[in-house]
Amino acid sequence: MSEKQKPGPGLLSSLLGLQCPRCRKGDLFIHKNPYKKMKLSYMLEMYNNCPVCNQKYELETGFWYGTGYVSYGLTVAISAASFVAWWIILGFSLYDNRIFYWLIANGVLLIVLQPWLMRVSRALYLYFFVGYNENYDKEETVKFT
């Protein structure tokens, strides 16, 4: 494969690795581990601009409010997946409390995943508005007008 045909970084690996959507190399968050300190300001502390391509992350004032919808969608998807997995593995019955055990297990799962879900929802939301640009070093950054 020649240098011109070299594939760029993968979308899914960059998204889950919480990388910049424009260059897919720079980090979105200052701290790699959101579980190190259980403080919201620590978990969501982001760079203002990408350290690699200088893409501004907060495209307009209040930009991150939309991540609530993305986080809700991810939470519903995880809950549906855990419901199906529980149903296939253990099943549900009218004669015992397995549905309540699933509710408790799902609640604990969502609480444990919440710091990661908040970060992924921010990354996914930013990926909606900023596309990958392999010539990021030669072109201007994405801005809202």
**What tens digit of pLDDT does each residue of 42-59 get?**
888 999 999 988 889 888
Query: Closest Cα partner for 116 from 52, 51, 29?
Result: 29
pLDDT digits (tens, 9 = 90+) for 17-41: 999 999 889 899 999 988 888 888 8
Cβ-contact 133, 52 below 8 angstroms: no
SS3 29: strand
Report residue 119 as tokens: 């970060």
- The CA distance from 50 to 43, in Å, is 17
AA identity, residue 94: L
Average pLDDT of the residues in 130-141: 79
- The CA distance from 120 to 124, in Å, is 6
Cβ-contact 50, 26 below 8 angstroms: yes
CB atoms within 10 A of CB 57: 21
Query: Closest Cα partner for 122 from 33, 4, 37, 20?
Result: 20
- The CA distance from 123 to 20, in Å, is 8
AA identity, residue 76: V
Please, what's the b/e burial string for 6-41 (b: 16 or more CB within 10 A of its CB; e: otherwise)?
eeeeeeeebbeebbbbbbbbbbbbeeeebeeeeeee
Please, what's the b/e burial string for 67-82 (b: 16 or more CB within 10 A of its CB; e: otherwise)?
beebbeebbeeebeee
pLDDT of residue 35: 87
Residue 94 above 90 pLDDT? no
Residue 142 above 80 pLDDT? no
pLDDT of residue 11: 86
Where residue 1 falls among pLDDT bands split at 50, 70, 90? very low
Average pLDDT of the residues in 92-104: 88
Q: Provide the whole-model pTM.
A: 0.82
